[in-house]
Chains A and B, each alone.
Chain A
Amino acid sequence: MREKLLYGAGLAAFLLLARNILVIADLPGEAAQGAIFKIIFFHVPAAWTAMVAATAALTLSILFLKTKDFRYDAAAVAVTEVGLAFLAANLVTGSIWGRVIWGIWWTWDVRLTSALVCWLLYAGYLMLRHAIEEPTQRATFAAVFSIFAFIDVPIVIFSIRWFRTQHPGPVFLSSTGSFPHDWTMVLLWNWVALMLLASILGAIRLGQEETQREIDYVRRMAHAL
């Protein structure tokens, strides 16, 4: 049942993405930046998806601490990993855009820096999990870390923004909004597609986590015999 649902959702995501890409390809290039501007249709929704994932991870972590139900822990890992993947997509697309427009792969711009620091924060979550053997302790410590990370995100973003306003970075050509209204719909539709994709990836990871738990259970059973 769950498998079929996954395949169905996968097909839907694929079709929606294909449709979106065709629509995006058909759009005229942006006045100042040309075709590269269209990367925004993936760049921005990827960041939104990552934010949704971080919020979900927070909720699931709190639920785990409250209930000690390992399904929440498994779900928290799944959404965090997927969120990290989408944040990475956001960073990479941002970097590609920067290469074309600014001529450099990386600059310590407010958004890039914030995204990178957040990425490192949540990568720490995965590293911490990886290093703890005992499942209950792993889940509990990871949940606590996830809550800390979520509290930190807004402070990180604020502090980096404030840092940059005091130390103006190199002045690049700024694209002052020529974002037609009907493009917003395309952007939102692509977000829907990416969210769908994220949910599928999350569901797959969740399944793997559950299998992992079963293996762990069987292994401990075998030791106990």
Chain B
Amino acid sequence: MSAVAVEGVWKFYGDFPALRDVCLTAEQGACLALIGRNGAGKTTLLRTIAGFSRHGKGEIRILGTSPRETETRRHIGFIGHGISVYDELSALENLTLYARLYGLANPRKAALEWLERTGLERVRDGLVREFSRGMRQRLAVARAFLHEPSVLLLDEPFTALDDRAIAVLQGLLRDGLAQGRTIILSTHQLREALELASHVALLIRGQVAFHGPCTPEMVADPGLVYARYGED
């Protein structure tokens, strides 16, 4: 059983097919890098896999079940374009809130632990409104990892991160992969992503143009996939 299986998925905005017959799989412990130009459907695909919006035809299975099942959602971690934490609440309050929503046994303990792992323990009672951009991003990462998800869906995780946050995130992702978590991330920062990735998928206009293992030559020349499988 694949950790994530996308089978023949179509997603429509009105009549416009944003995703066309997308088939992808990611085995447990794999890291799949979704690449493609703006508007190719990377965000739509990740949001559809995460179960944020219903798709048309096709089937999506995460750990063998639908992403809309409550139980499945316990195992998914998601980072989108926004940081998904509340400006009016403190870092600790935000993380405790999500720990409660995920039904963790000891919400406060989990929250404190992740504040420490992302280097935010010093500002734990500061309101997010007063945080710098890098701190906000690190908090977003902590929020997504808090419930120890076995499938991580990350939409452009490196964009807008400062160096420290990139280091924190890459460290966490490496640890996660070593622990057998599955990661799907979309990105424009090919180098950062390909260093981590075990597999690569290229999306062009909502279709998968290439899906396969990430080879050393791709890492050496990040433009290779585009050059070989892109249209121009």
Contact = CB atoms under 8 A, between A and B. Distances in A.
Interface of A: 68, 70, 134-136, 213-214, 216-217, 220-221, 223-225
Contact of A213 (B14, B56, B205): B14
Interface in B8-56: 12-16, 39, 53-54, 56
Contacts of A221: 16
Contact of B16 (A68, A216, A225): A216
A216 B15 CA distance: 8
B15 A136 contact: no
Most chain B CB atoms below 10 A, which of A134, A136, A223: A136
Contacts of A220: 13-14, 16
A217 B16 contact: yes
A214 B15 CA distance: 7
B79 to A, nearest CB: 22
**CB-CB nearest 7 A-B residue pairs:** A135-B14, A220-B16, A217-B15, A217-B16, A216-B14, A213-B15, A224-B205
Given A70-B15, A224-B39, 13 more contacts: A70-B14, A135-B13, A135-B15, A136-B12, A213-B15, A216-B14, A216-B16, A217-B15, A217-B16, A220-B16, A221-B16, A224-B16, A224-B206
Contacts, number: 31
Interface residues of B, number: 11
Contacts of A217: 14-16
B13 A136 contact: yes
Interface in B45-73: 53-54, 56
Nearest to B12: A136
A63 to B, nearest CB: 16
Given A68-B54, A68-B56, A224-B205, A136 B14 contact: yes
Contacts of B54: 68
19 contacts: A68-B54, A70-B14, A134-B13, A135-B13, A135-B15, A136-B14, A136-B53, A213-B14, A216-B14, A217-B14, A217-B15, A217-B16, A220-B16, A221-B16, A223-B39, A224-B16, A224-B39, A224-B206, A225-B205
Contacts of A70: 14-15
Contacts of A134: 13
A223 B38 CA distance: 11
B203 to A, nearest CB: 11
Most chain B CB atoms below 10 A, which of A213, A217, A224: A224
A223 B40 CA distance: 11
Nearest to A138: B14
Interface string B185-222: 00000000000000000000110000000000000000
B76 to A, nearest CB: 22
A224 B13 CA distance: 12
Most chain B CB atoms below 10 A, which of A220, A221, A225: A220
Contacts of A213: 14-15
A120 B21 CA distance: 43
A51 to B, nearest CB: 30
B47 to A, nearest CB: 12
B142 to A, nearest CB: 30
Contacts of B16: 216-217, 220-221, 224
Nearest to A220: B16
Nearest to B41: A224
